[in-house]
Chains A and B, each alone.
Chain A
Amino acid sequence: MSEATANLAAPELNYTSVDRDLVKTMQPPRRLYYGVLAALLAVIALGGYAWSVQLRQGMGVAGISSPVGWGFYITTFVFWVGIAHSGTLISAVLFLFRVRWRSSIYRSAEAVTVFAVLTAGLFPLIHLGRPWVAYWLMPYKQMGGLFPNFRSPLVWDVFAVSTYLTVSALFFFTGMVPDLAIVRDRSQGWREKVYAFLAQGWQGTNTQWKHYTAAYVFLAGLATPLVISVHSIVSWDFAMSLNPGWHTAIFPPYFVAGAIHSGLAMVATIVIPMRRIFGLDAFITREHLASMAKFMIMTGLILGYSYAVEFFIAWYSNNAYERDLFFYRAFGDYAWALWLLVACNVLAPSLFFFERVRYSVRWLVTICLLVNVGMFYERFVIIVTSLGRGFDPFTWGLYVPRWPEVAILAGSLAWFFLFFLLFAKAFPVVSMWEVKEQLPMPGGEAGRSAMAGKEHP
């Protein structure tokens, strides 16, 4: 059995069953779906209400103040941007490295990316004091000749996140076109018209495939540096400032590793229930999940190393401000958050060393949820402790989140899951054509797949 099929355990998978099983996921949903949909909409409405209160009264309804001018909103922003990264990692980077087990997960992962970026994109608006003039961050000539300040990391964020959204969305959509053709070919009535429109007339001729695969490779190649650069740019929101605990060169790799870590956890958190509900065990096998878990061991260890290096350098540097701040992180007002996040991000995924844990769905879900929580608190600790414990002891202060921030955080989670819920019913959640690529071809030699003949374009 070739390596390709080793990752696809079910021997009965063939081209026909792939189409059938995956198109079936897009059937009209059961009542539970609508119930969840309604609940998510309610939570989003609550978040929206909180935001409307904030718009009317001012940022003061939130818990941020002086000195901690950034709190939950920026934490959540970085949290979502981070989650967005593993999607691209799985779709683009693993593609370039020809890692086989990506093919059945990557569609959902890419969906997680796009929706996470869409969710993250809300927060620059939400955290602004005057969001009605947020468009001033766009790079065009305004107010008689002024452009935005390209030296500011926030403007880099505008470029990076919008580019990331664009490229991910393009990649996502482009990757889906052959699948949309499949769905089109199996739909009737208005659905057929919609999918026909979306599939853009895809036939699957060799010329189309030629250009398509070339574009796919280049998009993957372009998306790869994005994975590294976007979260580096977001990390520079902090690293470009002079606050102790922020002003450090370790942030780009630290944040990118953290992003991949949290992204994998979120993908797993979504994919595991989806797999159960849609009955996709044959497509997303325990091998796939175990592979993701192994990846998380690596990213978790990188994070553990990063935390250790940060503390070490703070001590080694003999810089009083850095030392004081890191001491505060470990033993001060927010020490509980630090130890929580170390346990969740480093210790918990280390359990994946054990094979039993890797292959157990329950352990996977638990550990991935813990990682998500831990990654949220990682950003929280970074932001709040550094701002609250600055250079001048007179300015030290605490941060306590208030109801609008919690409501908006919950709303963002609901917003994200809502997108995914809609996506799951509107589009195939597993990439049919790529799974087929891995399968032995119909009527071909046993075990030979379309991928076997693949060379570099």
Chain B
Amino acid sequence: MENNRRDFLKILGIGAAAGMAGCSKTAPERLEPYVVPPEEVVRGHPAWFRTTCRECPAGCGMEARVREGRVHKVEGNPEHPVSGGGLCARGQAAVQGLYSPDRLRTPLIRDTAGKLQPASWEQALKAALEGLAKARSVRVVTGAARGALEELIREWPGAQHVIYEPVAYEAVREANRQCFGVAGLPVLRFAEARLIVLFSADVLETYVSPVGYARGIQEARRAGARILYHGPRLSLTGARADQWIPGETPPADLLQRMREVPSLAVAGDDLSDALAVNRLNSEAGALNRTVRFDRGSALDSAVSKFEAAAGEAVVVVEANPLHALPAALRNAAFVVCLSSCPTETTAAAHVVLPVHSPLESWGDYEPWTGIHCLQQPAMMPVFDTRETGDLLIRLAGLKHASFYEYLRARWRKLNPQADFEAFWAASLKLGGWWRDVPERTVALSAQAPRPPEPERQQGYRLHTYPSLTLFDGRGANRPWLQELPDPISQAVWDTWVEINPADAALLRIRTGNRVEVRAGGAAIQVPACVYPGITPGHVAIPLGQGHRGFGRYADGVGANPYLLGRGPVEIKRVSERRELVRVGGSDLQHHREIARSRTVPGESKPEPHSPLHDLTLYPEHPHEQHRWGMVVDLDACTGCGACITACYAENNIPAVGRDRVAQGRIMSWIRLERFFGQGTAESDPFQIDWTLVMCQQCENAPCEPVCPVFAAYHNQEGLNGQVYNRCVGTRYCANNCPYRVRRFNWFEYQRPGPEDWQLNPDVTVRTKGVMEKCTFCIQRIVAAKDRARRENRPLSDGDVVPACAQSCPTQAIIFGDLNDKDSRVSRMARNERRYRILEELNTRPAVTYLMRERRKV
């Protein structure tokens, strides 16, 4: 099998991962560079493998960058129909699932005393088969797995397949069933809409397919679209919208406004919202135009609750139901868990079989009907794990040779006319195969119910929402995601409850105070976050924390709001200590114009550029070849944090942990600065503005002349260089940076193996005592220049893409050569919305920002 693959990859010329020589399944103990490498491996040059991201059910296309047999970074697949090149923060953190130090390394069998003990593969498989044979029935639990895996499980004689997703949008699907007769999620064509109405649907964060939706919404935005967000909680998506209509009653004239332009309404996972939205879409003409049911979603058969029957054997495959449903497997007679990392479910299993992580696996996934995304291993397995499909074949007693063969056979059936090997190779190269599907129209049923009135309840109405960083909880063992600050609360490494200021004043709660949230018998204790963006009478808690047995980064962090259910809750302050770790000093801008926005139409045009700004006593320094610059379009930025996590991955930035973030020592080179309003008090209506701040690569950099040893200097291409091996660590440069973008290495940050395998070999790993900061991904600039030189051509616009710009789903960050007047960055830097942060200090930054717009709806 390995030889076949190697040969045909040779044909494609993509290159094979080193280490393919030798067909053993055990990971080599040491990786050493070749003295004479295989022909297709060029040392120092990466190979790219296209696969599919499995960090959530969206199924975005992903490319894995592999150097000498190790995956270092993943990026979006620009040819993918869902995501189009962007990749969210959770996708970027997929490598941390691959290299998690807590990964299961051996099979485990529960002994008579009830503890899991390491065992050999033969023993574990034997025990699993015995347990399955003895059970009355078999239930296989997976996440959304539409594709070869789902079909394989269907072949398992007598097994019932449960597609379990904690976030399954059952209310939306039920509403669709009642209204349109289709119990599924629609395809949303945001790009064609000019008015987008969101009923608590966080389409830019976690809702169904956020990267794809962000891309579509940005396209709509460029064409003048307006976004309205209605709901009791102002989420990040709502903050990005032009207007927030708080509360639970939609505006009366909404339908009329939706009729004026092509529009689209989307509902979050709430039945009454979904019924209202279906009605609106139907009456506004959005149905079958911007809201289509041609393609079914992989989530259409998902459930968020299930319970094992008595005497049943349950096979859990890369899912963790016990986090959200602690009692789901209570009655099960026998549990086999196939997982790459330890979870609450593996802790309760009788047999645990470690499997490949998605970056090591074969597979496919069909997020929408006709969009067949292919998954291929980007590297040899790190540990002694097995392919999930192979294990299922064995456990089910099926006759297929291997899951790989099964997958290929399935694809042969998918596209029977094609020359299969060519088709297979082309699909691997593209990342999948997408085909058109027949159109399907629906209409609002006459029996469609009206949305029920919201019931009055005692207590606070609780909204739990999948977290932007951790999703439904599966991201909690990835330190990058734990350390990615939630844009709304700016909190890290914790769970919190958002409370309106008026409610908080009544309860005498301040941000950070520990609070008990009680729903009947269940209660959790979390710190409070006083947030004007939640309607009085409502509280909100993000999902995803409160794990036990999910690894060193997840255990003991935060609390689990799944336990509280959906009913009303009581809130009570428990302690006055301030416990919430937040990044960020002040929530207010004090009129310093850091994150600017303007209302359109209405506000005055931005000030003309004053020639006084160009006055300088100093000589002009010529940039003969290139002058690198960046434009950040704040109207495109959704605040998702993909850029931040991509930067962590690309530049070997350590995640420092909760306590050190509390001390102000977070190491991110690019950060999201989120403010409430523009002035010294929260504005009315409540508005959130944000900006992305990274090293501005100032021409008159204040950090450079104060470094005593020239560790900070300005290079010929306009970059502010930081020479790590010259830095003595006086920290004067950081003190003199008005943007405070410089980060100091306060400790020698350790990375438990195999996390260090992820480190990018093109970027130095900094020692303690050394200053670091954003470099505009100078390693990529150098690589692009090398490539251009090898190919005997000049650098062209778009050759250099820093990691942050590459990952952004909406392309809010544009990078390029300012010396080239026609480059995209130069053109955008002349946009009328442009401004620079702290321009009056005359630092002459190379980063230009485009003001965010709020369009009157």
Residues on A lying within 8 angstroms of B by beta carbon are 57-60, 63-70, 127-131, 133-134, 136-137, 143, 146, 148-149, 151-155, 158, 237, 240-243, 320-321, 324, 387, 390-397
Q: Contact: A128 with B728, CB < 8 Å? A: yes
Q: Contact: A129 with B693, CB < 8 Å? A: no
Contact A129 to B731, CB < 8 A, known contacts A137-B708, A151-B705, A242-B736: yes
Q: How far is the CA of A321 from the CA of B593 in the complex (A)?
A: 12
Q: How far is the CA of A152 from the CA of B713 in the complex (A)?
A: 12
Q: How far is the CA of A146 from the CA of B795 in the complex (A)?
A: 31
Q: How far is the CA of A152 from the CA of B747 in the complex (A)?
A: 26
Within 8 Å of chain A (Cβ to Cβ): is B748?
yes
Q: How far is the CB of B566 from chain A (nearest CB, A)?
A: 35
Which of A155, A240, A324 is within 8 Å of B708, CB to CB? A155
What is the chain A residue whose CB lies nearest that of B656? Answer: A60
Within 8 Å of chain A (Cβ to Cβ): is B681?
no
**Residues of chain A contacted by B730 (CB below 8 angstroms):** 127-129, 154
Q: Contact: A390 with B738, CB < 8 Å? A: yes
The 5 A-B residue pairs with the shortest CB-CB distance in the complex, in nearest-first order: A129-B729, A396-B585, A129-B769, A60-B746, A393-B586
Contact A397 to B665, CB < 8 A, known contacts A146-B710, A152-B707: no
Q: How far is the CA of A221 from the CA of B728 in the complex (A)?
A: 36
Q: How far is the CA of A434 from the CA of B480 in the complex (A)?
A: 70
Q: How far is the CA of A68 from the CA of B740 in the complex (A)?
A: 10
Q: How far is the CA of A128 from the CA of B740 in the complex (A)?
A: 19
User: Could you list some 28 contacts between A and B, CB below 8 A?
Assistant: A57-B748, A59-B746, A66-B740, A67-B734, A68-B664, A69-B735, A128-B728, A128-B729, A128-B730, A129-B729, A129-B730, A130-B729, A146-B709, A149-B709, A152-B705, A153-B732, A390-B740, A391-B838, A392-B594, A392-B739, A392-B740, A392-B838, A393-B585, A393-B589, A394-B584, A394-B675, A395-B585, A397-B585
Q: How far is the CA of A129 from the CA of B772 in the complex (A)?
A: 12
Within 8 Å of chain A (Cβ to Cβ): is B257?
no
Q: How far is the CA of A243 from the CA of B737 in the complex (A)?
A: 8
Q: How far is the CA of A12 from the CA of B710 in the complex (A)?
A: 62
**Residues of chain B contacted by A68 (CB below 8 angstroms):** 664
Q: Contact: B735 with A387, CB < 8 Å? A: yes
Q: How far is the CB of A268 from chain B (nearest CB, A)?
A: 34
Which label, helix, strand, loop or mixed, suits the secondary structure of the A interface? loop
Q: How far is the CA of A320 from the CA of B745 in the complex (A)?
A: 32
**B563-618: which residues lie under 8 A (CB-CB) from chain A?**
584-586, 588-592, 594
Against A, the Cβ 8 Å flags (1 = close, 0 = not) of B177-215 are 000000000000000000000000000000000000000
Q: How far is the CA of A208 from the CA of B255 in the complex (A)?
A: 105
**B697-717: which residues lie under 8 A (CB-CB) from chain A?**
702, 705-710
What is the chain A residue whose CB lies nearest that of B665? Answer: A65
Contact A394 to B707, CB < 8 A, known contacts A127-B730, A129-B744: no
Contact A241 to B728, CB < 8 A, known contacts A320-B591, A394-B586: no
**B717-767: which residues lie under 8 A (CB-CB) from chain A?**
726-732, 734-736, 738-740, 742-748, 767
**Residues of chain B contacted by A66 (CB below 8 angstroms):** 664-666, 734, 740, 742-744
Within 8 Å of chain A (Cβ to Cβ): is B45?
no
Q: Contact: A324 with B590, CB < 8 Å? A: yes
**Residues of chain A contacted by B736 (CB below 8 angstroms):** 241-243
**Residues of chain A contacted by B739 (CB below 8 angstroms):** 391-392, 395
Q: Contact: A143 with B748, CB < 8 Å? A: no
Contact A129 to B585, CB < 8 A, known contacts A66-B734, A66-B740, A393-B594: no
Within 8 Å of chain A (Cβ to Cβ): is B673?
yes
**Residues of chain A contacted by B767 (CB below 8 angstroms):** 130
What is the chain A residue whose CB lies nearest that of B667? Answer: A66
Contact A59 to B738, CB < 8 A, known contacts A65-B664, A130-B727, A394-B594: no
**Residues of chain B contacted by A131 (CB below 8 angstroms):** 728
Which of B592, B705, B706, B727 is within 8 Å of A391, CB to CB? B592
What is the chain B residue whose CB lies nearest that of A386? Answer: B735
Q: Contact: A130 with B710, CB < 8 Å? A: no
**Residues of chain B contacted by A128 (CB below 8 angstroms):** 728-730, 769
**Residues of chain B contacted by A387 (CB below 8 angstroms):** 735
Given contacts A60-B660, A130-B727, 20 further A-B contacts (CB under 8 A): A67-B734, A69-B735, A70-B731, A127-B730, A136-B728, A146-B709, A149-B708, A152-B708, A158-B708, A240-B706, A241-B702, A241-B735, A243-B735, A391-B838, A392-B673, A392-B837, A393-B588, A394-B584, A394-B673, A396-B585
**Residues of chain A contacted by B222 (CB below 8 angstroms):** none
Q: Contact: B585 with A148, CB < 8 Å? A: no
Residues on B lying within 8 angstroms of A by beta carbon are 584-586, 588-592, 594, 660, 663-666, 671, 673-675, 693, 702, 705-710, 726-732, 734-736, 738-740, 742-748, 767-771, 837-838, 841
**Residues of chain A contacted by B666 (CB below 8 angstroms):** 66
What is the chain A residue whose CB lies nearest that of B674? Answer: A394
Q: How far is the CA of A103 from the CA of B390 in the complex (A)?
A: 94
What is the chain B residue whose CB lies nearest that of A153? Answer: B706
Q: How far is the CB of B748 from chain A (nearest CB, A)?
A: 6
What is the chain A residue whose CB lies nearest that of B588? Answer: A393
Which of B592, B710, B841 is within 8 Å of A149, CB to CB? B710
Q: How far is the CA of A66 from the CA of B744 in the complex (A)?
A: 8
Which of B584, B748, B837 is within 8 Å of A58, CB to CB? B748
Q: How far is the CB of B45 from chain A (nearest CB, A)?
A: 30
Which of A130, A146, A154, A393 is within 8 Å of B590, CB to CB? A393
Q: How far is the CA of A342 from the CA of B257 in the complex (A)?
A: 63
What is the chain A residue whose CB lies nearest that of B736? Answer: A241
**Residues of chain B contacted by A151 (CB below 8 angstroms):** 705-706
Q: How far is the CA of A155 from the CA of B708 in the complex (A)?
A: 6
Q: Contact: B745 with A149, CB < 8 Å? A: no
Which of A69, A127, A149, A392 is within 8 Å of B738, CB to CB? A392
Contact A60 to B665, CB < 8 A, known contacts A67-B740, A129-B768, A394-B673: yes
**Residues of chain A contacted by B726 (CB below 8 angstroms):** 136, 143, 146
Q: How far is the CA of A344 from the CA of B841 in the complex (A)?
A: 35
**Residues of chain A contacted by B744 (CB below 8 angstroms):** 59, 66, 69, 129
Contact A396 to B586, CB < 8 A, known contacts A60-B660, A128-B769, A154-B730: yes
Q: How far is the CB of B388 from chain A (nearest CB, A)?
A: 41
**Residues of chain B contacted by A154 (CB below 8 angstroms):** 706, 708, 730, 732
**Residues of chain B contacted by A243 (CB below 8 angstroms):** 735-736, 738
**Residues of chain B contacted by A394 (CB below 8 angstroms):** 584-586, 594, 671, 673-675, 693
**Residues of chain B contacted by A143 (CB below 8 angstroms):** 726
**Residues of chain B contacted by A67 (CB below 8 angstroms):** 585, 664, 734-735, 740
Q: How far is the CA of A57 from the CA of B747 in the complex (A)?
A: 6
Q: How far is the CA of A131 from the CA of B726 in the complex (A)?
A: 12
Q: How far is the CB of B637 from chain A (nearest CB, A)?
A: 15
Most chain A beta-carbon contacts within 10 A, residue among B660, B734, B746: B746
Q: Contact: A59 with B768, CB < 8 Å? A: yes
Most chain B beta-carbon contacts within 10 A, residue among A158, A242, A243, A390: A242
**Residues of chain A contacted by B710 (CB below 8 angstroms):** 146, 148-149
**Residues of chain B contacted by A57 (CB below 8 angstroms):** 747-748, 768
Q: Contact: B693 with A69, CB < 8 Å? A: no
Most chain A beta-carbon contacts within 10 A, residue among B708, B769, B837: B708
Q: How far is the CB of B691 from chain A (nearest CB, A)?
A: 9
Q: Contact: A133 with B664, CB < 8 Å? A: no
Q: How far is the CA of A149 from the CA of B558 in the complex (A)?
A: 48
Most chain B beta-carbon contacts within 10 A, residue among A58, A143, A154, A393: A393
Q: How far is the CB of A166 from chain B (nearest CB, A)?
A: 20
Q: How far is the CB of A444 from chain B (nearest CB, A)?
A: 56
Q: Contact: A320 with B768, CB < 8 Å? A: no
Q: How far is the CA of A129 from the CA of B739 in the complex (A)?
A: 21
**Residues of chain B contacted by A64 (CB below 8 angstroms):** 731
Q: Contact: A70 with B735, CB < 8 Å? A: yes
Q: Contact: A393 with B729, CB < 8 Å? A: no
What is the chain A residue whose CB lies nearest that of B735? Answer: A69
Q: How far is the CA of A65 from the CA of B744 in the complex (A)?
A: 8
Most chain A beta-carbon contacts within 10 A, residue among B665, B702, B740: B740
Contact A65 to B663, CB < 8 A, known contacts A392-B673, A394-B675: yes
